[in-house]
Chains A and B, each alone.
Chain A
Amino acid sequence: METIEINKIEAIVRYERLQDVQDALDEIGVSGLNVTEVKGCGRQKGYTEHYRGSQANISLLPKLKVESVVPAEITDRVVEAIVAAAYTGETGDGLLFVLPVSEVVRIRTGERGVDTIRHKTPAGWGY
C-alpha cells in the first residue's frame, strides 16, 4: 500500500477563532490555507429568529471552513495547533477532518509532489 505523503485538513471553526487559528498555523510553517464561509448544523443546533411578533427556527449556523494541504509529517502538529486555537469549550467549536491527497500541482511552474507545499519563508517577509 502506498504511503500517504500529503494530507488535506478541513476544520469547521467559529468565526471569532479564525485569527488565532491562522496565527497558530503561521507559527508552525503551514504554507497556505483557504477559508470559506459555510452554514451548517451539528450538536449546537440553531437559534430562534424573532421577526415582527413571529418566530422562525434557523437550524443552520454560520461557520468558517479552514482548509489546508500539508505534508504528512507535520499533519499531527497542524491538527493539534488548530484544535488548541479553535477551542472555547462551548458546544459549537466545530469539527476537524483529515483526508489523504493524491497529488498537488503548482499551476505557475507545473511542479508536482509534496515538496510543492513545503513551507518556504517568502523573500521580504516581515519577521
Chain B
Amino acid sequence: MDLIASTSLAGLKGSLDSTNVALDTLWVVAAAILVMFMQAGFAFLEMGFSRQKNVGTVIAKVVMNFSICAVVFWAVGFAFGFGAGGSILGYTGFALHSSDVAKDFPGLAFSDVGLSAKWWFEFVFCAVSLAVVWGTTLERIKFSVYFIYAIVFSAIIYPLIAHWLFSGGWLAASLGSQDFAGSTVVHLTGATGALAVLLLLGPRRGKYGPDGKPNVIPGHSMPFVGLATFILWFGWFGFNPGSTLSALSSTGANGDIRFADIVLVTNIAAACGVLGALTTIWLKTRKPDIGMACNGAIAALVAITAPSGYVNPWAATIIGFVAGIIVVLGVLAIDRVLDDPVGALSAHGLAGIWGTLACGLFTDPTLAKLNGVGQGGFVYTGSLHQLGAQAVAVGASFATVFAISFATFFAIKATIGLRVRPEEESYGLDMAEHGMWGYPEQFMPVPGYEYHQPAPPAGRPAPRPAPVGLGTSEGVP
C-alpha cells in the first residue's frame, strides 16, 4: 500500500516537474519572440527619423544584421558569452555542442528550460544590442560596414559584456554588479558602439553649417516613430519580464509570480519616462515634441532594464521620470556636436548608464538576495557600496566596448571606408547602395506607371546607366 502510494506520488511529482519545465519554456520562448519583434521597432524608428531617400536601406540592414547575428551567435558568440571558462570569457559549447548543459553553461543553470530556449532568448538580446549601434549612422554609412561589424559584435563584443554581467563573470560574481536584463549589457554596449562609429564617421552633410551651428534635418515620418515606440514598448515586456528565464519563479510575497511584477515595474517606468520627457521639452521650448515623447518612453525602458528585477514600483517612477529628463537634455546637448539622428546615444547610452547606476540607489535588499547578486541600494542600506559596483560595471563595459569597436571601425575606415561618397549621400542611400528606392513613386517620374526593361526601341538613345556621379567614374554625360 505504502509502496503504491509512494510510486504514484513520485509519478505525480515527475509529471508536475515536466509541466513546470514546459510552462517555463513556453514563457521564455514567447518572451524572446516579443524581443525579436523589437527589430521591427528599431527599423521603424530609424526609418521615421530618416529622410525618404534613405528608408529602404534600413530594412535591408536590419534584416541582414539579424541574420548575421543569428548565425555568428549560434556558432561562437553564445559559447564565449555563456559557456564555462574564466571570469572574462567562456569557451565551452561552440555551436551549442554540449554533452552536459548544466556544466557547459553554468551561468544559465539557474533556469530549468532547455538549451535551445536559453540560446534563443540570449540571441535576441544580442540582436537588439547590435540594432542599437546603427542609430547614429543613418543616411551616410556604407552598407558593407554593417556586415563586418555585425560579425565582430556578435562573436566577441556582446558576448564579452554578457559574460561579465549575465553569466557569472567578474563583474557579477566578484563585484556583485547588478544588471537584471541589460541596461549595460545590451543598451550601453550598443550605444558605445554607436559612439565609436559616429566619431569616425562624422555628421551627415549639411547637419552643421559653416559656423558649426546644427541645422534641422527632419525625419520623414513621425507616425513611424510612434509605431516604433509602441513596438519597442511591447517588446520590452519580453525583455525584462522574460529575463526571469522562468514563468514560475516567485518573490515569495503573496505568492506573486515574478515576471508579472516586472511587467508592472517596466510599464510604470516607461509611462513616467514619457511624462518626464514631455515636461522637460515643454519647459525648454513650450512645444510637446513628438519625437522627444517617444524617446522618453524608450529611454525609460532602457533605464528600467537593469533595475527591473531589483526595484519596487515606487522606485520605477523615479527611474523612468529621470530617464525622460536625461534623454531630452542629452539629445539637445549632443546635437550641438554629434549628429545622432535617432538619439541613440542619449536614449540607450545615457539612460543605460543611469539605469545601471539606479540599481545602486534603489535596489531592494530582499530582491538582491533573491537574485543572488550584490546587495541593497543606497536608499535601503545607506551604503554607497552597490553604487560603486554599478559604476565599475558601467566604466569597464564602456571602456572595453569602446576600445574594440573603435579599433574595428578604424580598421574598416582605413581599408574600405565608412562613408559613401558625398554625391551618393546627397542622392540617398536607397539608390546609391541598393539601386532602388524605398518609396519609388516619390522619386520615379510617373507614379503608378510600369517601367520597361532597358532594351530601347530602335532609334532611341540607350537609357542613362546611373544618375549623375553614381556607380561609374565617368561623371556627367
Q: Which residues of A contact B (CB under 8 A)?
A: 49-56
Residue of A nearest to B216 (CB): A56
Let me know if B17 is at the binding interface, CB within 8 A: no
Whether B289 contacts A52 by the Cβ 8 Å rule is: yes
* CB-defined contacts of A49 to chain B, threshold 8 Å: 216, 218
Which residues from 451 to 465 on chain B have a C-beta closer than 8 Å to any C-beta of chain A? none
Whether B218 contacts A53 by the Cβ 8 Å rule is: no
Whether A50 contacts B215 by the Cβ 8 Å rule is: no
Report the Cα distance A52→B347, complex, angstroms.
13
* CB-defined contacts of B469 to chain A, threshold 8 Å: none
Let me know if B291 is at the binding interface, CB within 8 A: yes
Proximity bits, B271-298, A CB within 8 Å = 1, else 0: 0000000000100110101011000000
Whether A50 contacts B287 by the Cβ 8 Å rule is: yes
Whether A50 contacts B291 by the Cβ 8 Å rule is: no
Q: Number of contact residues on B: which range applies?
A: 10 to 19
Whether B291 contacts A51 by the Cβ 8 Å rule is: yes
Report the Cα distance A54→B343, complex, angstroms.
13
* CB-defined contacts of B214 to chain A, threshold 8 Å: 54
Q: Would you mind naming 27 contact pairs between A and B with Cβ atoms under 8 Å apart?
A: A49-B216, A49-B218, A50-B285, A50-B287, A50-B289, A51-B289, A51-B291, A52-B289, A52-B291, A52-B292, A52-B331, A52-B332, A52-B335, A52-B343, A53-B281, A53-B284, A53-B285, A53-B289, A53-B292, A53-B328, A53-B332, A53-B335, A54-B216, A54-B335, A55-B216, A56-B215, A56-B218
Report the Cα distance A53→B281, complex, angstroms.
7
Which residues from 324 to 345 on chain B have a C-beta closer than 8 Å to any C-beta of chain A? 328, 331-332, 335, 343
Residue of A nearest to B215 (CB): A56
Q: How many whole Å from A35's CB to the nearest CB in chain B?
A: 16
Report the Cα distance A60→B326, complex, angstroms.
35
Report the Cα distance A55→B292, complex, angstroms.
14
* CB-defined contacts of B218 to chain A, threshold 8 Å: 49, 51, 56
Report the Cα distance A55→B281, complex, angstroms.
13
* CB-defined contacts of B292 to chain A, threshold 8 Å: 52-53
* CB-defined contacts of B284 to chain A, threshold 8 Å: 53
Q: How many whole Å from B95's CB to the nearest CB in chain A?
A: 44
Report the Cα distance A55→B332, complex, angstroms.
12
* CB-defined contacts of B289 to chain A, threshold 8 Å: 50-53
Q: How many whole Å from B220's CB to the nearest CB in chain A?
A: 12
Residue of B nearest to A56 (CB): B216
Known pairs A50-B285, A51-B218, A52-B343 / 5 extra A-B pairs, C-beta < 8 Å? A53-B281, A53-B292, A53-B328, A53-B332, A55-B216
* CB-defined contacts of B343 to chain A, threshold 8 Å: 52
